[in-house]
Amino acid sequence: MTPAAPTPPGVSYVMPVYNETAYIDDAIDSVLGQRYEGEQELVLALGPSTDGTSERVERRAAGDPRIRIVRNPEMTIPVGLNRAIRAATHDVIVRVDAHTELADDYTATAVATLERTGAASLGGLMVAQGRSRFQRAVARAYNSRLGLGGGAYHGSAVEGPAESAYLGIMRRPALESVGLYDERLKRAEDWELNFRLRGAGHLVWLDPALRVTYWPRDTWAKLARQFRATGIWRGELVRRHGGRHPLRYFAPPALVVVAVLSLVVLLLQATGVVTGWASLLLGLVHLGPLAYALLLLALLVTRSSGATLADRAVFAVVIATMHGSWGSGFLRGVVVGARGAVDRSRIES
């Protein structure tokens, strides 16, 4: 008699939710539609939404016993995630966001990889998509090395140990051993958690077979606020952990510093404060902003930037917004710390 196949481990999905009425149903459906044989539950950390999200989520929970709600009045992601994890009943924790959609074999593939590698934290690729012209441009920037600096989960095809894990399929005992997410953070909580996991000797793994659809911010103001807040908290982490960060994180703030110095030198030159050899020497600082401006102009004639000139122009604006907002936020975070800065891109239109 052939022995029965072992039952796959139970999985608890944890999702922080706030003001996501345009995306929440698709996100929930992609979780509940997983082709996975083990037990599953979805624990939603629900903030006090003002756009009807709370009512929609409560109706979904009332009609499906797999959905449970924990309250997150603080509206911070790490607090909400920790409350959802503590309320979860299974030892495999799958983080999902309300702006994401999972492929229907995501969980089965992830659990198999988790067991095959022995990793404590596992992630796949973020595949950004857009609906409007602006959101599609943001998606192209997310999927481009130019936009976010080439993090592995934005397009690597190589499976193996990783610095961090996008979203994350995680082992609960490993999470508990390092104290779960750091609730003092408002952004960059994934990177910081995986930093502590790696420091404790755990393996963090990237599997490019795992692909998650992500819907980015859909207006310029939301994008600018999101990236400034993200930059601030990355700067805060540099204050805490020193230089143990990839060099790509320092490129946008360096660009901002050079641009400011270029403006100062230009003013000094225009007013005659510096002249002659001093002006020529200081004028070298203009080369940085000039090179960046040429890069943005090049995007206007690069087909990968968009199908039409209008698409490419929006893409160039998106790239400049990402770099400038993130870089200026990073400098603030490094110099004065985060001081409770929050991402208001989901609060304000």
Range 272-280 average pLDDT: 91
Phi first, then psi, for residue 83 (nearest 5°) are -65, -40
At 241, the pLDDT band (50, 70, 90 cuts) reads confident
- Collect all residues with Cβ–Cβ distance below 8 Å to 332 and sequence separation of at least 6: 231, 232, 235, 341
d(CA 12, CA 38): 10
Which tens digit of pLDDT belongs to each residue from 120-132? 999 999 889 999 9
pLDDT of residue 56: 93
Q: Is the pLDDT at 315 greater than 90, yes or no?
A: yes
Tell me the whole-structure pTM to 2 decimals: 0.84
Q: Is the pLDDT at 348 greater than 60, yes or no?
A: no
Q: Is the pLDDT at 331 greater than 70, yes or no?
A: yes
Mean pLDDT, all residues of the chain: 90
Q: What percentage of the chain has pLDDT greater than the value 70? A: 93
